[in-house]
Amino acid sequence: MALGKPGADDRRYEMTVLSLRLAGRVNAVSARHREESRRIWRWMWGKKPVAEVPIGHVTNGVHLSTWMARPIRDLLSKSLGSDWEVDADAAAVSEAVRELDDDRLWATHESLRQLLFHYIREEARNRWRDKWKDPTKLAGSGALLSPPVFTIGFARRFATYKRADLLLRDRETPAALVDRPEPSCPDHLSGKAHPADDPGKRVLQQVFMAAQIRVRGPHRLPRGL
């Protein structure tokens, strides 16, 4: 039990403290996070200077073969060679990516976006046919999304640090984006809060209430929730 207590006389038991004491190696998820973690947990290493606290970092990465769409990978292979993924972190690869033809890259991106919109619409049709009765669900599902229209999407857990309510903190900017004569900037938000996360639930409530205040007019796209 003492391994999880911040201090000998402390009645609290913290899993992070336990993990730090038992781990053979500790890392943060970015260089910046490493600096903050060293500062926050320095007390566990006595008088050791912050720079010497043994917390390293491993920047988040992805598995290219499953994360990157095949058309994008093929485009890169034509320009960089078929083995570019073997040494994707090399500076030469990064430079070569910057030299890609902008028009070809954008055309590939657009073709993938068309596939995404097709998938969204098919999913909305299927759910409308099988489950939904309320027309607002169809609008909120993304069925009316338009490829040329700048769209903001957020689909994450409603934890406070993910800041799902960020757009609501500056009312003027999002209002300016949607208050234009052409269809523009619908925002689609999706996610849940943990049952025990009351602050996260409050963020979700704020977003839900904001979504009820719809911009009126025949030229507007619905704002989905």
DSSP string, 9-38: T-----HHHHHHHH-S-EEESSHHHHHHHH
Per residue in 15-33, pLDDT (tens digit) is 999 999 999 999 998 899 9
Task: Tell me the mean pLDDT in the region 154-183.
Answer: 74
- Residue 181 or 31, more confident: 31
Give residue 216's pLDDT.
Answer: 40
What is the reported pLDDT for 194? 92
The residue ranges of every structural domain in the chain are 2-57, 149-225
User: What integer pLDDT is reported at residue 168 of this predicted model?
Assistant: 78
Least reliable range by pLDDT among 32-46, 49-63, 79-93, 172-186: 172-186
The rounded distance, in Å, linking the Cα atoms of 209 and 211 is 5
For residue 154, the cross-strand partners are 189
| pLDDT for position 139 | 63
Question: 218 pLDDT exceeds 50?
Answer: no
Report pLDDT for 88: 67
Cα 82 to chain center, whole Å? 30
Mean pLDDT over residues 187-202, rounded? 88
pLDDT higher at 106 or 190: 106
Q: Who has greater pLDDT, 39 or 137? A: 39
For residue 20, which amino acid is it?
A: L
122 CA to centre of own chain: 24
Q: What is the mean pLDDT of residues 72-86?
A: 84
For residue 97, pLDDT beyond 80: yes
Average pLDDT, the chain: 81
C-alpha distances in Å from residue 199, one per residue of 24, 83, 171, 203: 34, 47, 21, 6
Residue 47's alpha-carbon distances to 51, 53, 93, in angstroms, are 11, 10, 43
What is the reported pLDDT for 45? 93
Task: State which amino acid sits at residue 177.
Answer: L
Strand pairing class (55-57; 152-155) = unpaired
Bridge partner residues of 152 (DSSP): 187
The band of 39, judged by pLDDT with boundaries at 50, 70 and 90, is very high
Tell me the per-residue pLDDT of 58-75, one tens digit each, with 9 for 90 and over.
Answer: 987 778 888 889 999 888
Residue 127 has pLDDT above 70, yes or no: yes
Please compute the mean of the pLDDT values over residues 158-182 and round it to a whole number. Answer: 72
Question: What tens digit of pLDDT does each residue of 105-125 get?
Answer: 999 999 998 898 888 888 888
